[in-house]
């Protein structure tokens, strides 16, 4: 067994002794300590006492400040460095042995070269800091797809955030002790401290690497303490590494939200849905339906892991335990459930602070405060040109605080998935809802799904961006192989006759004057109702080149201020538009090249034929 020696940790004693007998865990911690030379090592147990100690430390360091306990109990505000405010796709790498296995949508780096680069960067990178050993579970204890990770990090902010976003500490170490395999994830902010050197509130490094080694299931992240770059259970593990695991082991790790819907008659359905950013995915996950008697309960807002059970049914869990939600635009009007969720016990990052010690952000739909402290920590007045909250400012909060959380969110058996929904923001072309002709056609709809850029994203506003399965930055392997994996899962589901049905939705169709044709939000339950009616065989559909469309009378429109003409417009497609879109999608298929499955090419050709 490898144990830590004084030479591994030269300047201080560990806070807490290792609580594992697993030699591979001890060897990993020892190897990283030897490389990064921290001042101390802390094995996290996930306890309340530990959390409180870390919070005290973060306040003392100026990384977070306590909010007004009466207005926002037990909640904190963090302000990041101005250069460390979002995931950095340009610094995110898939280091597969063969370049082709990363595919054309990922940044590939040679694994040996990347290891050499990271070896240099991580050398003594934790000097003067505590190295935290953070065991975590993705998924509830006992689920067939639950997986374990160990994140080693020198950021206490990451530790407390991982404590919200995952099942962290002793609970995970116990699963490791029982013999489970685990994923290695090491994270350093890359800001070693000399003895006596003053620290900054948000230490980070302008050089950033978020590197993934899918074959050895390893993650190495350097330079950033923000969100997806640093909370390695989320995008790095639960999507990039897990998607490669899922391909090898026959399950699915997807960028989807998951909801439980109950009709007034008591019919229960579960929908997993993938949307590119800025398409209302979180709002869908926390929908308050406008149709009487309907309920939507939340299982997850970002990631779903799915597997085929012994009855041949697709089941899903949310591997996470928290939400890392975008604050701006979240309001009592757009998402009252999210607002109720973050009543307290929440870490806010890069939002503005009100004079009475609460939080504020653009779109929070109360009168704009006269005066604030903005996300940079500067004075802000209502006339300021800059936004008070950063556009990517976030709240981090536990799912169990969500008033609409379904009881099953923590059930290791997961839920049976009845429908898969893809969506995008399209002002033209795509109808409000369409059902795929078949599983293969559904995979084609997922592969070619697209969204128009909003001002919140880099690039030209309105430009159409293909984002296959909303996984463009998150598939840990070749995108064409991902499509093939979906086809293979579909073949397995077909043998049992339990394949979920696949749909595509578009809440964002506009008329000629640019006005939205569909109210969205809670009225999207009307679309969900049609989806459930289709699954139950209660309604027929109109055939179109893009799939099966609702008949006008089958979409429940009572109580909506929508003209028959407008309703007709969102429920029909123009063959010329669909043809142009299918031709445009060929650019993506050509980019993906010879890993595009034949069935996906065929569905593209069939779409074109149906347009003639």
Cβ neighbours around 228 below 10 Å, total:
21
Cβ neighbours around 609 below 10 Å, total:
11
User: Within a 13 Å sphere around the CA of 331, how many CA atoms are in the beta-carbon half?
Assistant: 14
Q: How far is the CB of 365 from ligand O2Y (least distance, A)?
A: 22
Q: How far is the CB of 491 from ligand O2Y (least distance, A)?
A: 29
Stretch that binds ligand O2Y, among 226-234, 259-267, 314-322, 489-497 (CB under 6 A): 226-234
Residue 103 binds which entry of ligand O2Y, Mn ion, none, CB below 5-8 Å type-dependent: none
Stretch that binds Mn ion, among 79-87, 294-302, 461-469, 511-519 (CB under 5 A): 294-302
Q: Closer to Mn ion at the Cβ: 135 or 228?
A: 228
Q: Closer to Mn ion at the Cβ: 302 or 554?
A: 302
Q: Is 81 in the site for ligand O2Y (CB under 6 A)?
A: no
Q: How far is the CB of 30 from ligand O2Y (least distance, A)?
A: 30
What are the b/e assignments for 47-61, b being 16+ CB within 10 Å? Answer: eeebbeebbebbeee
Residue 226 tokens read as: 């923000």
Q: Is 233 in the site for ligand O2Y (CB under 6 A)?
A: no
Q: What Cα–Cα distance (Å) separates residue 581 from each residue in 171, 435, 515, 594?
A: 49, 17, 22, 21
Q: How far is the CB of 349 from ligand O2Y (least distance, A)?
A: 9
Instruction: Specify which residues 316 forms β-bridges with.
Output: 306, 415
Q: Is 302 in the site for ligand O2Y (CB under 6 A)?
A: yes
Q: Closer to ligand O2Y at the Cβ: 3 or 456?
A: 456
Q: Is 228 in the site for ligand O2Y (CB under 6 A)?
A: yes
Q: What Cα–Cα distance (Å) separates residue 428 from each residue in 338, 425, 519, 576, 608?
A: 30, 9, 16, 12, 18
Q: Is 324 in the site for ligand O2Y (CB under 6 A)?
A: yes
Q: Is 275 in the site for ligand O2Y (CB under 6 A)?
A: no
Residue nearest to Mn ion (CB): 302
Note whether 427 and 510 are within 8 A (CB): yes
Stretch that binds ligand O2Y, among 179-187, 222-230, 262-270, 569-577 (CB under 6 A): 222-230
Residue 424 binds which entry of ligand O2Y, Mn ion, none, CB below 5-8 Å type-dependent: none
Q: How far is the CB of 34 from ligand O2Y (least distance, A)?
A: 30
Residue 121 tokens read as: 């960067």
Residue 86 binds which entry of Mn ion, ligand O2Y, none, CB below 5-8 Å type-dependent: ligand O2Y
Alpha helices in 37-155 (DSSP H): 48-61, 111-122
Note whether 45 and 19 are within 8 A (CB): yes
Interacting residues with Mn ion between 200 and 259 (CB under 5 A) = none
Residue nearest to ligand O2Y (CB): 227
CA distance 363 to 378: 20
Residue 87 binds which entry of Mn ion, ligand O2Y, none, CB below 5-8 Å type-dependent: ligand O2Y
Q: Closer to Mn ion at the Cβ: 302 or 374?
A: 302
Residue reference for tokens 């796709």: 89
Residue of 44, 279, 402, 611 with catalytic role: 279
Q: Closer to ligand O2Y at the Cβ: 240 or 509?
A: 240
Q: Is 302 in the site for Mn ion (CB under 5 A)?
A: yes
Stretch that binds Mn ion, among 295-303, 402-410, 500-508, 577-585 (CB under 5 A): 295-303
Residue 208 binds which entry of ligand O2Y, Mn ion, none, CB below 5-8 Å type-dependent: none
Q: Is 87 in the site for ligand O2Y (CB under 6 A)?
A: yes
Q: Is 374 in the site for Mn ion (CB under 5 A)?
A: no
223 sits in the region (left: phi over 0; alpha: psi -120 to 50; else beta) called: left
Q: Is 227 in the site for ligand O2Y (CB under 6 A)?
A: yes
Q: Closer to ligand O2Y at the Cβ: 87 or 425?
A: 87
What are the b/e assignments for 205-227, b being 16+ CB within 10 Å? Answer: beebbbbbbbeebbbbbbbbbbb
Residue 534 binds which entry of Mn ion, ligand O2Y, none, CB below 5-8 Å type-dependent: none
Residue 226 binds which entry of Mn ion, ligand O2Y, none, CB below 5-8 Å type-dependent: ligand O2Y
Note whether 100 and 592 are within 8 A (CB): no
Instruction: Specify which residues 78 forms β-bridges with.
Output: 64, 349
Q: Closer to ligand O2Y at the Cβ: 9 or 389?
A: 389
Interacting residues with Mn ion between 484 and 523 (CB under 5 A) = none
User: Helix count (H) and strand count (E) of the chain?
Assistant: 15, 32
Note whether 23 and 148 are within 8 A (CB): no
Query: Site size for ligand O2Y, by CB under 6 A?
Result: 9
Q: Is 76 in the site for ligand O2Y (CB under 6 A)?
A: no
611 given a catalytic annotation: no
CA distance 373 to 352: 6
Question: Which residue, among 196, 235, 207, 204, has the nearest Cα to 219 in the 3D structure?
Answer: 235
Cβ neighbours around 515 below 10 Å, total:
8
CA distance 214 to 44: 26
Q: How far is the CB of 474 from ligand O2Y (least distance, A)?
A: 7
Alpha helices in 201-330 (DSSP H): 227-230, 242-249, 281-285
Q: Is 226 in the site for ligand O2Y (CB under 6 A)?
A: yes
Q: Closer to ligand O2Y at the Cβ: 86 or 610?
A: 86
CA distance 64 to 86: 18
Q: How far is the CB of 420 from ligand O2Y (least distance, A)?
A: 18
Residue 418 binds which entry of Mn ion, ligand O2Y, none, CB below 5-8 Å type-dependent: none
Residue 227 binds which entry of Mn ion, ligand O2Y, none, CB below 5-8 Å type-dependent: ligand O2Y
Q: How far is the CB of 338 from ligand O2Y (least distance, A)?
A: 13
Stretch that binds ligand O2Y, among 58-66, 225-233, 337-345, 425-433 (CB under 6 A): 225-233
Question: Which residue, among 119, 154, 127, has the nearest Cα to 44 in the 3D structure?
Answer: 154
User: Within a 13 Å sphere around the CA of 214, how many CA atoms are in the beta-carbon half?
Assistant: 31
- In 332-463, the DSSP E strands lie at 347-349, 352-354, 359-360, 371-373, 379-381, 394-398, 415-416, 419-423, 433-435, 450-452
Q: Is 86 in the site for ligand O2Y (CB under 6 A)?
A: yes
What sign for the dihedral angle of Cα 591, 594, 597, 600? positive
Binding site for ligand O2Y (CB under 6 A): 86-87, 226-228, 277, 302, 324, 392
Active site residues: 279
Binding site for Mn ion (CB under 5 A): 302
């Amino acid at each position: 067994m490898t144990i830590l020696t004084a030479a591994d940790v030269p300047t201080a004693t560990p806070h807490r002794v290792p609580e594992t007998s697993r030699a591979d865990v001890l060897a990993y911690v020892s190897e990283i300590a030897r490389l990064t030379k921290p001042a101390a090592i802390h094995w996290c147990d996930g306890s309340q006492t530990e959390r409180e100690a870390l919070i005290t430390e973060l306040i003392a360091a100026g990384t977070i400040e306590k909010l007004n306990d009466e207005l926002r109990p037990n909640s904190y505000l963090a302000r990041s460095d101005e250069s460390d405010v979002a995931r950095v796709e340009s610094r995110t790498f898939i280091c597969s042995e063969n370049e082709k296995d990363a595919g054309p949508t990922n940044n590939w780096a040679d694994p040996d070269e990347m290891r050499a680069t990271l070896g240099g960067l991580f050398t003594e990178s934790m000097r003067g800091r505590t190295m935290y050993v953070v065991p975590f579970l993705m998924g509830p204890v006992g689920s067939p797809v639950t997986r374990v990770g160990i994140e080693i990090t020198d950021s206490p902010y990451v530790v407390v955030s991982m404590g919200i976003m995952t099942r962290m500490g002793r609970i995970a170490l116990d699963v490791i002790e029982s013999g489970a395999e685990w994923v290695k994830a090491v994270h350093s902010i890359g800001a070693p401290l000399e003895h006596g050197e003053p620290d900054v509130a948000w230490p980070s490094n302008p050089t950033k690497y978020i590197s993934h080694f899918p074959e050895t299931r390893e993650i190495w992240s350097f330079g950033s303490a923000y969100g997806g770059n640093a909370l390695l259970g989320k995008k790095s593990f639960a999507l990039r590494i897990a998607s490669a695991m899922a391909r090898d082991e026959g399950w699915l790790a997807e960028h989807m939200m998951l909801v439980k819907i109950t009709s007034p008659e008591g019919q229960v359905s579960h929908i997993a849905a993938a949307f590119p950013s800025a398409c209302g995915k979180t709002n869908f996950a926390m929908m308050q339906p406008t149709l009487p008697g309907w309920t939507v309960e939340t299982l997850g807002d970002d990631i779903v892991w799915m597997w085929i059970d012994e009855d041949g049914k697709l089941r899903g869990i949310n591997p996470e335990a928290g939400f890392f939600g975008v604050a701006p635009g979240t309001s009592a009007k757009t998402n009252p459930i999210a607002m109720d969720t973050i009543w307290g016990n929440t870490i806010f990052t890069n939002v503005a602070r009100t004079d009475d010690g609460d939080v504020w952000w653009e779109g929070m739909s109360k009168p704009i405060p006269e005066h604030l402290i903005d996300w940079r920590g500067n004075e802000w007045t209502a006339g300021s040109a800059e936004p008070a909250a950063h556009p990517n400012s976030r709240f981090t909060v536990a799912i169990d605080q969500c008033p609409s959380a379904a009881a099953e969110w923590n059930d290791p058996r997961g839920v049976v998935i009845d429908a898969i929904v893809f969506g995008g923001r399209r002002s033209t072309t795509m109808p409000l809802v369409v059902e795929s002709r078949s599983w293969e056609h559904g995979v084609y709809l997922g592969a070619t799904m697209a969204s128009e850029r909003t001002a919140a994203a880099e690039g030209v506003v309105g430009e159409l961006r293909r984002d296959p399965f909303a996984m463009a930055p998150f598939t840990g392997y070749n995108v064409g192989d991902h499509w093939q994996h979906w086809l293979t899962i579909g073949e397995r589901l077909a043998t049992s006759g339990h394949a979920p049905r696949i749909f595509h939705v578009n809440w964002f169709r506009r008329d000629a004057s640019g006005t939205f044709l569909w109210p969205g939000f809670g009225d999207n339950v009307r679309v969900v109702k049609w989806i459930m009616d289709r699954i139950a065989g209660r309604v027929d559909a109109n055939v179109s080149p893009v799939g099966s469309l609702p008949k006008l009378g089958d979409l429940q429109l009572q109580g909506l201020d929508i003209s028959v003409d407008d309703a007709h417009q969102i429920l029909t497609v123009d063959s010329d538009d669909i043809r142009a879109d299918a031709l445009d999608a060929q650019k993506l298929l050509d980019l993906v090249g010879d890993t595009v499955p034949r069935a996906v090419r065929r569905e593209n050709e069939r779409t074109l034929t149906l347009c003639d």
